[in-house]
Amino acid sequence: MFAEIAPRYDLLNHLLSMGIDIRWRNRTVRLAGDPAGQPILDVCCGTGDLALAFRREHPAAVGVIGADFCRPMLAIAKRKAARLKQASVYFIEADALHLPFPDNTFGLVSVAFGLRNVSDTDAGLRELTRVCIPGGRVLVLEFTLPRIPLLAQLYRWYFHRILPRIGQALARNRQSAYNYLPASVEEFPQGEAFLQRMAAAGLRQPKAFSMTFGIATLYCGIK
Ligand SMILES: C[S@@+](CC[C@H](N)C(=O)[O-])C[C@H]1O[C@@H](n2cnc3c(N)ncnc32)[C@H](O)[C@@H]1O
């Protein structure tokens, strides 16, 4: 599914979110804090926007790696890094559930709009935590649903009725990726429920930062 939508993924991200996705990633980088001189890993990196945002924020001495299991997404990420002359960001093919890194390697481990797609959320969280250094941070940026009832109703209408039509028209794919998106967001644990999953994965002081009336949330925990 991700291979099919890869060529139009960035365009649709920016169009369907009216460009707000860029701000969500930049805010994630700011809230993530300092990686304490350790490398940064962005899992399910897709076309590389969050990894590249980390690269811009931190000095080149800190290594930034983006990992994804979808080759067409990675190919776009690599081209983008080359175009932006960000040669020191490395993109690798890897499964979020079996990351090819030893325990306690990264100062920051992030995943944006990716964990929801991983087949086992808890195993995914444990794997992100495993590769993070003690005292490092695990960050999960995800779509959520607004809490204000009227806004939630309006948003659901856009999310379920409008977004899939635009998505499907612009990024033709056999697997209805843009129907899958709202369905998967409705199913994914949100707020307190997700914070409890983070704690169960071994993360301390899990916190949620709501963005844009709650349509996205950054979850952050300390290993
Ligand atoms: C919605 S995209 C998000 C991409 C990017 N993080 C962003 O912010 O735009 C989800 C990405 O997760 C990747 N993905 C899903 N399951 C994965 C897994 N088990 N291991 C590695 N990547 C995975 C997909 O290939 C896809 O590129």
pLDDT category of residue 169 using cuts at 50, 70 and 90? confident
Convert the pLDDT of each residue in 14-59 to its tens digit.
Answer: 988 889 999 999 999 999 999 989 999 999 999 999 999 999 998 7
142 C-alpha to ligand 1 centroid (Å): 12
Domain ranges for the chain, please list them: 2-146+188-222
Identify which of 4, 78, 13 has the alpha carbon closest to the alpha carbon of residue 216: 13
Mean pLDDT value across the chain: 94
- For residue 35, the tally of other CB atoms under 10 A from its CB is 22
Give the residue, by CA position, lying nearest to ligand 1 atom 8: 112
Taking residues 93-112, what's their average pLDDT?
98
**pLDDT value of position 21:** 95
**pLDDT value of position 58:** 86
pLDDT category of residue 213 using cuts at 50, 70 and 90? very high
Output the DSSP codes for 72-90: HHHHHHHHHHHHTT-TTEE
138 C-alpha to ligand 1 centroid (Å): 16
150 C-alpha to ligand 1 centroid (Å): 31
Give the residue, by CA position, lying nearest to ligand 1 atom 17: 118
Does the pLDDT value for residue 170 go beyond 90? no
Give the residue, by CA position, lying nearest to ligand 1 atom 27: 46
**pLDDT value of position 85:** 81
Spatial contact of 47 and 80, defined as CB atoms under 8 Å apart? yes
The pTM score is 0.95
146 C-alpha to ligand 1 centroid (Å): 23
By most ligand atoms within 8 Å of CB, the mutation choice from 23, 41, 54, 68 for ligand 1 is 68
- φ, ψ of residue 87 to 5 degrees: the values are -65, -20
Convert the pLDDT of each residue in 74-102 to its tens digit.
Answer: 999 999 999 988 778 999 999 999 999 99
69 C-alpha to ligand 1 centroid (Å): 7
**pLDDT value of position 164:** 87
Cα–Cα distance between 99 and 120 in angstroms, integer? 14
**pLDDT value of position 61:** 67
Burial of 189 (0-12, 13-18, 19+ CB in 10 A): middle
Cα–Cα distance between 173 and 195 in angstroms, integer? 34
pLDDT category of residue 116 using cuts at 50, 70 and 90? very high
- φ, ψ of residue 189 to 5 degrees: the values are -60, 140
Taking residues 159-178, what's their average pLDDT?
83
> What CATH class does 2-146+188-222 carry?
alpha beta
What residue type is assigned to position 104 of the chain? N
